[in-house]
Structure 1
Amino acid sequence: MRGINLHGIWAIYRTEMQRALRTVWQSIATPVITTALYFVVFGAAIGSHMQQMGGVDYGAFIVPGLMMLTILTQSISNASIAIYFPKFTGTLFEILSAPLSAFEAVVAYVGAAATKSIGIGLIILVTATFFVDLEIRHPFWMLGFLAITSVAFSLFGFIIGIWAKSFEQLAIIPSLVVTPLTFLGGAFYSIDMLAQPWRTISLFNPVVYLVSGFRWSFHGVGDVSVAASLAFMTGFMAICLAILWWMFRTGYRLKP
C-alpha cells in the first residue's frame, strides 16, 4: 500500500493558492470595503438606536456574524469553482487519471479553499478593529471555529462544484440558500429578541449554531450552547465527507 502522495497534494494546493494570489488585491479590497459598509449601515445607523445587545456594544456584537457571512460564502465559492472549472474546461480527467486518490484530491482542493477563507476572515477581523473596540475572550476557540467552519463549508462547496452542471447551478445555493439563512440565523441580532414561535423556528436554521458558537468565542455569549454548535459542525462535516466518498466511489458527475 502506497503512502500519501504529499507531492501531488502540494502541487494542487500551490496551484490553487497561486490562482488566488493573482487577484490578491481584489480578494483583499472586497472584504475590507464590504466590512466598512456593513459597519456604516449596521454599526452607525442601527447601532445608534441599539447601544448594546447581550451586554455587548452592538458594533462589536455584529463582528462574528459579519465574519461568518463572508466565510460561508467564500468557502463555498472557492471550493466549488476549484473543482467545477476543471470539469468546465475538460481537464478533470487529468486529475482523475493522476496518481492521486480521492482523499488526496479533496485534501488539496478543500485545504486551499479553507486557507483562503481563513485569510479573508482574519482580514475582516483586522478591519473591524478600526471601527469598534473588540475583545476576544476565547482566542483559541475563535481560531478553532474559524478553521472548522472554513473546512466544513469548503467540503460543502466541493460537493456543489461536482454536482453543478452550469455556472448558474454553481451560484444558486450560495445566493438563494446560504446567504438568506445567514441573515436569518442571528448574524446581526440575537434570536432571543424574536417572539415565539419564530425563536423556536430559528433553531432549525443550521447557521444559528455556527454564528452562536463563533460569537461565544468573542463575547462569551451565544444563542445556543457551545456543545450544540460543536455537535452540529461535527455532524455536518461527517455528512459532507460521506457524500464526497459516495461521489468519488460512484463517479457521480465526475466520469462519463
Structure 2
Amino acid sequence: MNIRGIYAIYRFEMARTGRTLLQSIVSPVISTALYFVVFGAAIGSRIQQVDGVAYGAFIVPGLIMLSLLTHSISNASFGIYFPKFVGTIYELLSAPVSFAEAVIAYVGAAATKSIILGIIILATAALFVPLRIEHPFWMLGFLVLTAVTFSLFGFVIGIWADGFEKLQFVPTLVVTPLTFLGGSFYSIDMLPPFWQWVSLFNPVVYLVSGFRWSFHGTADVGIVFSVAMTLAILAACLGVVWWIFKTGWRLKN
C-alpha cells in the first residue's frame, strides 16, 4: 500500500480545513449553539423531560448527528468534485495511487474533519446542558462509523455531481429533512402509531436512536437494528464506490 500517497492526499485535504476554518468549524458550532438557545431554552421550558431525560440533554445526540451527517457529505463531496471541476482528477487517475488508496485518503480526511467537529459540538453542548454519556466507547464507535459511512456517501455524490448545485442538493433537500424527521428533537414514541410506523422507513431514525442510546441508555429502536442499519449503508456505499472506479463512471468521461 502506498502510505506516502495516501498521506499526501490526506494532508492536502486537511490543510483545506485550515483555509476555510470559519465555514468548516466556526459556523456549525455557532449554529448548534443557536439550536440549544432556541430548542433547549424556549421549547425545553415547556417540555421538561423526554424518556426521563431533560429535554436540553435529550437533543444533544440529534444535534451532533445532524452536523455529522451534513458535513461528512459536504466535506467528501467537495473534496472529490473540485479535482473534477479544475481537471486535476486526471493527475490523480494517472498517479501511482490505487483507487482504494485514493478513497481511503479522501474519505479519511472528510471523516476526520467531521469527527473533530462532532467533538467540538459535544464540548459546546456541555456549556449549555449537563451531559451524561453512559456508553462512551459506543458513542465514539457510532461517531466514527457514521462519519466514515456518510463521507463515503458524500464521495459518491461528489463523483455524481456535474455542478456545484448538485453538491448541495442531497445534503440540503434530502439528508437534512430526514434528520429533522428522524427523531433528532423528539422521540418517535411521541408520534401517533401510524407515523411511528412510517418513521421506521427513515434510516436516520436508526442512526439517531443508536447514538442517543450511547448517551442516555434509551432508544426508539433496538441498538442491534441501529448498528445493522449503519453497516448496511456503509456496505452499500462501498459497493457503489467500487463500481464507480471499476467502470470509470463520471471520472474518465
Q: TM-score, normalization: structure 2?
A: 0.99
Aligned equivalent of 1:236, options 223, 226, 233? 233
Match of 1:124 among 88, 99, 121: 121
1:206 aligned onto 2:203:
yes
Moved more, 15-24 or 145-154: 15-24
**1:72-109 Cα shifts (integer Å, max 9, x gaps):** 00000000000000000000000000011110000000
Q: Quick one: distance in 2 between partners of 1:163 and 1:66?
A: 28
Give, in whole Å, the separation in 2 of the partners of 1:74 and 1:152.
12
**How far apart in 2 are the matches of 1:47 and 1:193?**
15
Cα distance in 2, alignment partners of residues 36 and 151 from structure 1: 25
In the alignment, which residue of structure 1 is the partner of 2:11?
A: 14
Query: What CA distance in whole angstroms lies between the structure 2 residues aligned with 1:114 and 1:131?
Result: 26
Superposition map of 1:63-102 within 5 A: 63-102=60-99
Structure 1 CA distance, aligned partners of 2:178 and 2:230? Answer: 16
Q: Deviation of residue 31 (structure 1)? A: 2.3
Give matches, 1:126-165, under 5 Å.
Answer: 126-165=123-162
What residue in structure 2 maps to residue 185 of structure 1?
Answer: 182
Instruction: State the distance in 2 between where 1:25 and 1:138 align.
Output: 32
**Residue by residue, what CA displacement relative to the aligned partner does 1:108-151 show, whole Å, maximum 9, x if unpaired?**
00000000000000010000000000010000000000000000
Q: Note if contact 1:110-1:158 (Cα within 8 Å) is conserved in structure 2.
A: yes
**SS class of match (1:253):** coil
Alpha carbons 1:135, 1:218 under 8 Å: kept = yes
* Long gaps (5+) in structure 1: none
Separation (CA, whole Å) in 2 of partners of 1:99 and 1:32: 38
Aligned residues: 253
Change (3 A) 1:59 1:179: same
Check 1:28–1:169 CA distance in 2 against 1; reply closer, same or farther (3 A cut): closer
Give the root-mean-square deviation of aligned CA atoms.
0.7
Cα deviation for residue 26 of structure 1 reads 4.0
- SS of 2:193's partner is coil
1:166-181 residue pairs with structure 2 within 5 A?
166-181=163-178
The structural deviation recorded for 1:25 is 4.2
Correspondence for 1:195: 192
Structure 2 stretches lacking a partner, 5+ long: none
Q: CA deviation at 1:22?
A: 1.6
Letter in 2 for 1:131: F
Amino acid at match of 1:49: R
